[in-house]
Each structure stands twice: as structure tokens, then as C-alpha cells.
Amino acid sequence: MIRQPGGLVVEMTDGTEEFNRRYRAPFYYDLAKYAPIRMAKALAEEAGEYGCTAPDPADYR
């Protein structure tokens, strides 16, 4: 995305954003489920200056 500007970050997960906000025991399961969501959001935020974007989940409600 940096060498060739532009791109789209898409993260697909189970459940809805609201559903994924709640804690899912045990700790490591919750961490494994939520980490990719946060990684996609962070990557989209940091890559924005290179023309990359990510859809806002609120747009799909």
C-alpha cells in the first residue's frame, strides 16, 4: 500500500460490531477474536496518508 498508493482494508469477522464489543471468555479467546478488528482499524488509520481507506462499520447499519 505504500509502494503503490491506494488500497482498501477490509476485516471480516463473525457477529456484528455490537456483538463483538462484549467480552468472550476465556481471556485468550477474546484476545484472538478482537485483535484482528483492532489491527485492521489501526492499519487503515496509519495507511490513510498513502491513499488507503477502510469502510466505517457504522455505514452498514
| pLDDT, position 59 | 56
**pTM for the whole thing?**
0.64
d(CA 43, CA 32): 17
| pLDDT, position 29 | 92
Burial 25-39 (b: 16+ CB within 10 A, else e): eeeeeeeeeeeebee
Q: Is the peptide bond before 36 cis (omega within 30 degrees of 0)?
A: no
Per-residue pLDDT reduced to its tens digit, 4-38: 878 887 777 777 777 877 888 999 999 998 888 88
Closest CA to 59 of 3, 10, 26, 22: 10
